[in-house]
Structures are given as C-alpha cells and as structure tokens.
Structure 1
C-alpha cells in the first residue's frame, strides 16, 4: 500500500537566547493511505512540534535541522510557500487543541466555515452558506442555522472545537492532522465526531495523524501508535499490541496511568508514570464509607432554578434541581455541554445568582443574589478549581505567595503554607517558583492547595484534569482522593470524562438540559444506568464496548419552558402515545440506592448499558 505520509529523520531545534536546542531528534514513521496513526506522549515530548512541522506552522525561532516529510510524492520541506498554502485545507487539514486561537473573533461562524467551500471547492456565496450550515449540523451543533450567525465568543469551547472540525472536514482532505481535538468535547459529541472521522477515512481514503494524550481514544481510532518521550521515539507498533503489552517502561507507565473500569480510588490506585502511589489504610476507608452513609449533609439544593434574560428570550439554564451532598463525599455531575453543570457549580460557589429555590451550605442558606453572600464567612465558603490553572493563577507571583494570600482570606495563619504545600505534594522549590515556571500538573496542585486553604465546606472542581497528560492526571486524581481520605474533604466534581468520574466519585448525578435525570452511587449508576440518556451517554465513551446508543434529533431549545420530559424528543424508548412530551415523568427507585426520572419502569427499559468493561489492571 502506498504511503500517504512518510516522516524520516526529522530533527527540529528551537533558538533561545542565542542557543539552538534540539526539540525532536531523528523522528520517523509512516502513515499508509487511509491509515490512522496515533502520536502519544507527555507534554514536552515533541508531539505537537512534529505535527506543526508537517504544515510548516512552526514558530519563527524553530529550525528544521534535518530529515524529510514526504506527501503525495513531494518533500514538504522543499515545496514553495505558495504550493504549501494551496495544500492546506484542501489536501491537508488540521484541527488543534485551542480553537479560540484559530477562529476569527470578528467574523460570524457561518461565514468562516463557508470560506473553506469557496476557496477550495469553488462554491459561490449562497452555496457556501448552505454547505456551512450542513457542515455544522454534521458535527452535531444544535440549531446550526443559529450557530452560523453567531461569533466565536458566543460559543462554548466545545462548540468552537466542533466548528474547527467541521472546517477541517469540509473539503475531504487526503491527510487530517488532529492535535488533541476532543479534549473539550462531551462523550456523545466525541463519539459522533470520531464516527465521522472514521467514515471519512473509510469512504475517501483520508489518512489520519492523531496527536493525543487520550490513550483509550488512540486505541479506539488508530491502527498504529508512536510513543514519544523527550523528543525521541521510544516505541512504535500496532496500537492494540503496544498499549496492551508495552515493551518499554515509559509506555507501561503511561498505560498504568489511565483510569479504567478495574480502577477505583484506594482499592486500586492509578499510578502516575514513574511515581509510586500511596495506598490508604483500610481503617480510613471504613471511615469514608461511614461518612457517605451518614445524614451529615454539607450541601442541600432544593428546586433550584436559574434563568438568563437575553435578546432572543429567556434561557432556562437550570430547571428545578434537587441534590444533596454528604460531608466527606465526592459527588460528580456529568452531562453534555449546555446541560447546566458549570452553571450549577457557579451558583453553589457564588459566582452566579439564582432565580428561585434554595442552596443550603453547611447549615446556612445562601442568598439568591450572589453579591449578598457573607464574605466575612470566608473560612467556610465553597472554593473553585478551574479547568485551566494558567488563567486563574497570577504568573508574576510565587506559589508560596498565592497560598499565603488564600490562607489570609480564609482566616488561617499564612505560616501554614509549608504544611498545605506538603499535603498537596509541593516541595519548597515548587513553592518558591513563579507559577508561570511550573508545569501544568504542578499549577493544578497549586490551584487545589489554594482552594483547600482555610478548610472550605466544599471544593468545586470544574473539569480539573481534562487538559492534563494521563500521568499528570493520575497524580491529581490521587491527590484529590488522598485529601478526601486524610482530611475529610468534600468535592463537587464536574467532568465529561466518565472513566475519571467512575474512578474518583462516590456518587453521581446526571444532568440533561438543566435537569437531573438520574442520581445514585457511582457503582450503581455505572453498573446499570436506567435513564435512557445516562445509558446513551455511557455507551458513547471510547472505553465502552458494545453498540453505541445513538440519539436522534436535536436537543430541545434552552429558551423553551419545560413541558413533559425534557429528553422526550431524542429518547429511543419514548412512549408511543406521546405522553412523554406532555406529562412530567416521575422519580423512580432503581437498584443500588439509585433514582431516575422516567415514565418507564425498570422492567420496561430494554437499553443495553454497554459501558466500561472490566479489564486487567494496567491495561486498556
């Protein structure tokens, strides 16, 4: 079979302060026509440099010191700028991790997507407009006609990434480069996009280079994998073989860092690469179980409603949520983008006001207007850990200064910095470094330490590990679990990564369009989801086995009042008499301390869960 892309002997260096340092050395691999290759490794391994070199998107201080990149019989390192420009988007397309840096903030989405059809396929303005709406619909963006009229800042990060994928797939390229393209996407959207990419590869012979730290995704999508470390290839081969029986110690460490169905906190701790994880004594496990079974409620949410007034109407972001969280518990909220997870978290923390209902935190009812919260009670207020610590940490301050300020605000002695640093595995060198000089994992440790300062009633974590390498992610997850065990910390954990949620959470609440549709212990919800949406969400995970449950139709508009079941229009088992759309479904009891909201009884639900198969420890 002819090769779509051949990289041989690629060596790239970066200049800094008059010195040239090699970033990648003697890289070589081949992608056959229609083939799919995954490039994996931790941050700093050189993965993105290789991908950037293929399209000559390297920064000005980069120099290609040797090697060749063969595509379509040509060495891309020797073609003219005009030729390479003509190839980009038409023959070779790319999707990168940060869509915000790729989209023009001053041009509507539909116009930006339409330009691809005009430039590469010769369509006129009217044809390109229709094609753009179809492309947006193809990547499962709700109300694509409305999305086409919006600007990038009006879309969520996940929605922006779907736009970038629509643009990349528009001209059916021969080679598609994907650099962490699904980091911000929900499981259902990710599954749909992956199926779309697989369909394109199968039907048009498009070759694929996937740069990712998501090993289950690489295993699912790519036939072969190349493992990089410190700018060199350490191992390569068929993905299934390489990730199940890795030959190199480094690869084994990466694989062991991935949460799977066999991994649960404390009982089988996920191990960060090159790092021994601390096991928690059984006595402490019994104490945690007792806390989870107690009625000591640290957070009680009753009939919570959040509405936004916009020029287009009233957005119903949260629709009557009821939720209790016990002290010492990790409660996870899962659901698609737009389900209301982050809005709920902001209402709890006090970054947003709520329209009606109540939030009782540690026995004290919170005012609806977030500006009226009692800031003098800082020591017990909920705190927040963001997805990207770089946007929430002052880059000019040391980690020690950040933590001292947090301790002062929490009414604690600033001299406790060293103690809280030790609890979050930050050394003196880390504490005395400017936050901008720390790695992503260390920055997130600083963010967790800051959120824990002062002993808050709960810590809210909003996608705290989704942008981290698997080995770094493992260390952060173990840190959260150990703080729960050793300090009785309570976490409200927001995530779209179901493997992470299963590993870490004690309880799970599933949200859809502002409503809780299923809740219960993590073991009960993952073992046999009962609400049709939960079953569909879990079957979409790349680590799931069996057929994916595909949801038909569009999600309902956030502008409409809730009538009947909010999920009725997409439900594969909706009642034939139409009552699901007109009558509010009741809460039902399921096995294993679980509740779900549906017109159908457990006996009537016939959906197969097909999620997260049990696998041997340390394998995928």
Structure 2
C-alpha cells in the first residue's frame, strides 16, 4: 500500500435501520479519510449518527441495520465485503475500539486479569505467565493502582473510571493501526483523562496509529485531534482543521455546539447576587466577596464532621473516606471534585443515607443523622436528601412511563400524585414525555425525569453525582441551566459531585477537592480556581484544557505510585505522588495542617505556595496565569 494512502477511507456511506418493513435512514452520504497517524474527531449530538458510523467501520452494526450505499476501506481492504474469519483477525489486532460504557463491554463473570490476558494470548500467542506479566504492565500504563490486585477483581468491584481504564489498556495492548475511541474518557477525572490521552497521543506518534475519536468533549477533541467532522441528523455538516473549526465555526449547528460548552468565562447567576440586583456574571473578587458574605449569613443545611467510612472486604479494610469535614449552607452549590476512587460518591451516599458511616457525624437541617443508614427516618413527608445519579439508564425503571415514576415518588413522599404535571412542567417535561416509557426517552430527557423525581417533596439538599458527564454538550448545558433555575426558584442546596472542572466552575459556589478519601483544599470556587494552593489541585487545574485555549499548557505530571485504599496512611494522603514531598519524612509521618489562603479558602499541606514554586521550578506556563501570580504574591498573606 502507498504510504500516502489513507488507513481508513469512508466514501459516501449511507446506513438505515429496518423497522416495520421500512428502512429508516440514519446516516446519509458520509465521506472522510484518515491518513496513517492522523487524528480525527467526530462530534455531534446523540442521534446524529456518530456511533452508527463507528459501528459500520467495525462491522458491528445490529442485525436490523442495512448499509444502503458507499464503501469502507481499511488499509485498502474492503471491510464491508470482508469475511468473518478475516474480520476476526483484524479486530483487536489491527483495529481496536474503546466504548463509552465499560460496564457493558466487560464480562461480569471473568476477572480483569483474565479478560486483559485473553488479548495477549490470542494476538501474541503468550502462555499464561507471560500474559499475566503483560497484563500487569498494561494496567500500570493507564495508572491503575496495584495492578496485580486489580487483575484479581471482577468488573463490578471497580469504579466506572477504573473500568474504563481497563478497556483502554486492552485496546492499547495490541498497538493497533486504527484506534476508535467512542467517548473514551466520559467517566474519567481530569488528571487521569489527561494521562490517558497523552498515552494515546504518544502511541499515535510512535507507531503511526490513526485515531477516530467520537466525543462530546470539545476541549478534548481540540487537544487531541488534528481534523474534526461535525454530524447532525446523520449528515456531515462541517469539516476542517480542529482549531479553526472550533474557534470560528461556520455552520450554525457547530456554532451552537461550541456555545453550549461551559467555560470559565460563563458563571451561573447565584441566588444571593440575583436578590441583590447585581448584573449577570460579575467578575473576579467582587463576585467572590459578595457571594462569601451572602453564604456566610445563611444557615448551614449540611454539616459533616470527621466522617470516616471503612469497608470490610476479604482482602482487608478499605478506607473509602478518611475524616472529612465540610459545611454547606442553604442555597449553596458545593462541588466535590477529585479522581475516580477518591471517595466522592461514597461521601455522597453517606450523606443521602444509602450507606452507613463508620465514625463522625452528619447533621442535616440541624438534625443529626444516625450512622446506620437503616435507622434513617424515611417516613412520608420527612425532609431528606435526594439523589440524581450519573446514569439514568440504571436508576430509572425502563418498563415504567415517566408519569408512573413520578407518581410513585410523589406517593412515597406523601404528596398528592396529581402534582405530576406541575413538577414535569418545572423540569421542562412535556405531556408526551410523561406517557413514554423511560427506555424510549433520550439521555437528556431521562435525566430531566431523574431531576424531577429528586425534586419531589422540595428537599433542602439534592446530591448530584456526575449528573451531566455522559451527556452531549447541548444537553449538558440544558441540564445545568435547569439545575441552576430550580435552585433560584426553590433555594435548594446542591452537593455536586463531578470530575469536569469547567462544569464545576460554571455551577459551583464552593469547591472541595478530594483525594484518597480526604479533603485537601476547600473554599469559594472563585478563590480555588483563581489560584490552587495544594499540589494536587494544581495538577487537576493543569490537566484541564479550556476550549478557547490555543496553547497546550504544560501539565503537572504525578509520577509516584497511587496508594491503595487498603493502606493506612499516617501522613499526607498525597505524599507518594506529590512532587514536593518533604525529604525529612514530615509528609509521610504527620498529617499536614490546614493553612488559610486568600479569598476565604484553606488547604492541607506542609508546604507554602512559595515553597511549591521554588522546589518544582514551576514556570508561569505550568500553572494557570492566576496561580502563577498568586505564587508570586504569597508573601503578602503568608
């Protein structure tokens, strides 16, 4: 094959689905090509045809799908006419894929080690011991802690982010010529996402691997992909160099997609500032100071003190939450951010009463909650926190209509079930949506049903656990605006769990950064985002790439080993990965003190920001501009 020939060529592809003796068109006359080593992004809303295109490339279309026209060639070979035997040799070796939902891709009856090892045994003819060694190396490459231990676990024993890292490890293990990435980092936090994408990028450069990435994460597409195509309703509406396409989109649909991305320049209008009649999105320290005063004057709705959550397992005690203390005031959005496995969701489940906690206290509306979640008062009419899950597909009964789901929640809350229409209207659900079974609704509509259900009984606290991470940018923006609108109307407080820093910056009033079950930095969102103090927060910030950022800011790489949740940690939980751990052992032997920073925030570290700057030799390009300026001015408030 000629070196200049594309590794993947899709020409005039059209695909439809058979339904009731008709063929419903899904993809219309789509053409594109990817050169060896090329990196192409494929973006568009749910239903635009993105996944149908990738499934056609892999020859994984469902039985009712029909390719009605066009061709697909891989290295000059016609994939559409290829026999199953040849396809079997190509899949996983020459062409590999990473899908959005790892839970449906991993076999729940097989250990992780056995599943990853199968790749090496099939494609590289390794024996069991060789495959085991290669499996541990592959899991380590994607920064999974204790790879040997992870290999012995089953998929359900891993978090969603850990499951996705396993899938990425499997796909990268064969060094494929073409790698298809279908929303590959949806469940990953910023640091792991950045590390994995850098690994994919390095592989593409070294081996000439071509990438086709389907994603709603436009900043990620901008970072990784050289070219981007935009699809709407099964048609290609715009294509071109990624930077140019996302900076100056020409098609109205592309312009709308870019406008929907939450950025650090767009902030929600808080209740307090709206009440004061302030203009929308006041900037910088003025907004931060006003918001801090307003929230300080309100009553605490949630007080968490020295919360500890341990799990007893056959392998030992898991320390999921290690002495967390937080306060959330009425009408506040408190965001908890951190890596997968940091304890964010466990903390949320302890607050909402789905998990018992081992030690500490949780006080809601002035009432102390029992440590045993089974002793919580769940009687009708009781004010209790509600929960919006990450994936509505697993939290809504697919056999019930949206109306039935809401009526049941109203009945359990002791509220008149005739209020369905009212709460549906408040969450922008139309009458036809209420009569549809939840499985037939789009992802955004399902999440609206979940929010409506969580709003029943007007709870004072709603816990949102990654509520928009799996949604397209336009749907994500609509859901975020809905949450902000409901907060303005009802004064509800949100405990918002997320790994997306731009989403957090858009919606949160306060931020708590969590690592290995402990809070390492907390304070008003404006203060935390304008200049992180803790090294882990700085690493999180450096890993995020805003969509409007023309340059690739140098990432603070965390090179040390990630501690296991089974470990008892005497000192700082971040010491093993921190680039500025004290040589005298203070970080590993002693819990760091809380230090007060500017803007009302605090951070847990033995080092000052000036020491961080001096020891790392960080340039202003490594930290955000605001952080670099803050470091330079440290002496003013130390």
Verify same fold: TM over 0.5.
Answer: yes
Q: Between Structure 1 and Structure 2, how many residues are aligned?
A: 603
Is 1:558 the counterpart of 2:558? The answer is no
Counterpart in the other structure of 2:344 = 341
Aligned mates of 2:590, 2:73 — CA distance in 1:
61
Map of 2:284 onto structure 1: none
Aligned CA distance change for structure 1 residues 26 and 413 (closer, same or farther; 3 Å)? same
Whether 2:312 is the aligned partner of 1:305: answer: no
Contact 1:261 1:612 in 2 (8 A): no
Query: Aligned partners of 2:40, 2:381: CA distance in 1, in Å?
Result: 50
* 1:389 and 2:392 aligned: yes
Q: What pairs with 1:193-342 in structure 2 (closer than 5 Å)?
A: 193-266=196-269, 283=277, 291-342=294-345
Q: Which moved more, 1:90-99 or 1:497-506?
A: 90-99
Cα displacement (A) at 1:437 = 2.4
Between 181-190 and 470-479, the greater mean CA deviation after superposition = 181-190
Deviations 1:443-479 (A, max 9, x none): 1111111111111120000000001110000000001
> What residue number does 2:477 align with?
474
SS in 2 for 1:499: helix
Structure 2: how far apart are the matches of 1:444 and 1:282? 32
Cα-to-partner distance string for 1:74-125 (whole Å, 9 max, x where unaligned)? 1111222111111111111111112222222222212221221222223222
- SS of 2:481's equivalent? helix
Cα separation, partners in 2 of 1:527 and 1:289, compared to 1, 3 Å:
closer
For 1:85-484, list aligned pairs within 5 A.
85-266=88-269, 283=277, 291-376=294-379, 378-484=381-487
Farther-moved stretch of structure 1 (488-497 vs 74-83): 74-83
Whole-Å Cα distance in 1 between the matches of residues 276 and 486 of structure 2? 15
1:263: how far off?
1.2
Aligned to 1:9: 12
Please tell me whether the aligned partners of residues 215 and 255 of structure 1 are also in contact (alpha carbons under 8 angstroms): yes
8 Å contact from structure 1 (residues 288, 328) kept in 2: no
Give me the whole-angstrom Cα distance separating, in 1, the residues matched to 2:123 and 2:371. Answer: 52
Secondary structure of the equivalent of 1:360?
Answer: strand
Query: Quick one: distance in 1 between partners of 2:420 and 2:173?
Result: 52
- Is the 1:352–1:370 contact (alpha carbons within 8 Å) kept by the matching residues of 2? yes
Q: 1:423 to 1:288 in 2, by over 3 A?
A: farther
In 1: Cα distance, 2:78 partner to 2:397 partner: 44
**How far apart, CA to CA, are the structure 1 residues paired with 2:578 and 2:238?**
44
Between 540-549 and 514-523, report the one with greater CA deviation.
540-549
* Equivalent residue number for residue 570 of structure 1: 577
Moved more, 118-127 or 247-256: 118-127
Question: Residue 613 of structure 1: CA displacement?
Answer: 9.2
CA contact (8 A) 1:280 1:482 kept: no
**1:280, distance to aligned residue in structure 2 (A):** 6.6
In the other structure, the counterpart of 2:489 is 486
- Contact kept in structure 1, 2:530 and 2:626, CA below 8 Å: no
SS in structure 2 of the partner of residue 570 of structure 1:
coil
- 2-structure distance, mates of 1:591, 1:412: 46
CA contact (8 A) 1:302 1:359 kept: yes
- Summarize deviations over 1:574-614 as a string: whole Å, max 9, x none: 11211111111100001111000001123323156635999
Please give the secondary structure, in 2, of the residue aligned with 1:136: helix
Q: Deviations over 1:276-311 (max 9, x none)?
A: xxx978638899776423240000001111111111
1:610 equivalent to 2:613? Answer no
Shift of 1:361: 0.2
Q: 2:588 aligns with which of 581, 594, 597?
A: 581
Alpha-carbon contact 1:291-1:328 (below 8 Å) kept:
no
Q: Residues 142-178 of structure 1: CA distance to partner in whole angstroms, max 9, x if unpaired? A: 1001111222222222111111111111111111011
CA gap 1:514/1:289 in 2 versus in 1, 3 angstroms: closer
CA contact (8 A) 1:261 1:613 kept: no
- Unaligned runs of 5+ residues in structure 2 are 281-286, 628-638
Distance 2:349 2:140 in 1: 30
Structure 1 unpaired stretches of 5+: 268-278, 615-620
Q: Tell me if the contact between 2:335 and 2:497 (Cα under 8 Å) persists in the aligned partners.
A: yes
Shift, 1:239, TM fit: 0.5
- Find the aligned partners of 1:529 and 1:81 in 2 and give their Cα distance: 54
SS in 1 for 2:379: helix
Work out the CA distance in 2 between the residues paired with 1:106 and 1:394. Answer: 24
Residue of 45, 53, 56 corresponding to 2:56: 53
Partner Cα distance (2:111, 2:400) in 1: 38
Work out which of the residue numbers 584, 590, 599 in structure 1 matches 2:597.
590
Counterpart in the other structure of 1:20: 23
- Quick check: 1:291–1:329 contact (8 Å CA) kept in 2? no
* TM-score when normalising by structure 2: 0.91
* Conservation of the 8 A alpha-carbon contact between 2:381 and 2:415: no
Tell me, yes or no, if the aligned pair for 1:463 and 1:494 is still in contact at 8 Å.
yes
Residue 206 of structure 1, CA deviation: 0.3
Whole-angstrom distance in 2 between the partners of 1:361 and 1:293: 17
User: TM-score scaled to structure 1, two decimals?
Assistant: 0.94
Once residues 263 and 116 of structure 2 are traced to their aligned partners in structure 1, the CA distance between those partners, rounded to angstroms, is 37
| Distance change in 2, residues 1:501/1:66 (3 Å) | same
- For 1:475 and 1:22, how far apart are their aligned partners in 2? 27
